[in-house]
Amino acid sequence: DAGVIQSPRHEVTEMGQEVTLRCKPISGHDYLFWYRQTMMRGLELLIYFNNNVPIDDSGMPEDRFSAKMPNASFSTLKIQPSEPRDSAVYFCASSLAAQQARFFGPGTRLTVL
Amino acid sequence: QKEVEQNSGPLSVPEGAIASLNCTYSDRGSQSFFWYRQYSGKSPELIMSIYSNGDKEDGRFTAQLNKASQYVSLLIRDSQPSDSATYLCAAISGGYNKLIFGAGTRLAVHP
């Protein structure tokens, strides 16, 4: 099992640029989650999907953030335009069911200059 | 009040000792609890799940859950320097299927 796959692993961009983060969940997992981790705020849930449908996006900080899941094996998190305060590690995670553990990908470290 | 609270540490223990990590949660409807280990620069890694009151053992790790007191703990026996990491406690919120994380406790095991 390859686990959750994320790309890119590192992204450095300039303020105002569009950033797209990608995720492939574990095959067979019905839930996909996007988290953001910073020193100040810890791990925060941004949005989650069930069977490719967005269920709760209340954690998405602003309209600059959007997420899609066009099929069961792929999701994107887009930030447009990016700002320095978006700098963080973004994790994608998946799980088999709502009450079960989330399995995390390696994360994307985003730096916005 | 934070939904899942942990002491940030660092908790320093000598090699071979028992490390005890504690966590409290505020949502009485929570039914599923997890401990994750996170090494610096890495992603959280699941080490224990617990759903029922009592103890659950897995190798050197024991998770304890007390729903009446709303606390979860993790014991690490025979601590090793390789156990040095941040340990994150997490609970799934009762009504929303969201996994809420505590801020994490940094554990340092010294030789």
Residue type, A26: I
Put simply, whether B92 touches A (Cβ < 8 Å) is yes
Weakest mean pLDDT among A22-31, A66-75, A94-103: A94-103
pLDDT in tens, B67-76: 999 999 999 9
Contact call for residues A68 and A60 (beta carbons, < 8 A): no
Q: Is the Cβ of A70 closer than 8 Å to some Cβ of chain B? A: no
Of B34, B97, B101, the CB nearest to A43: B101
* B8-19 average pLDDT score: 94
Please indicate whether, in this complex, the C-beta atoms of B46 and A48 are within 8 angstroms of each other. Answer: no
Q: How many CB atoms lie within 10 A of CB B57?
A: 12
CA A34 to chain centre: 3
In this structure, the number of other CB atoms found within 10 A of the CB of residue A103 comes to 21
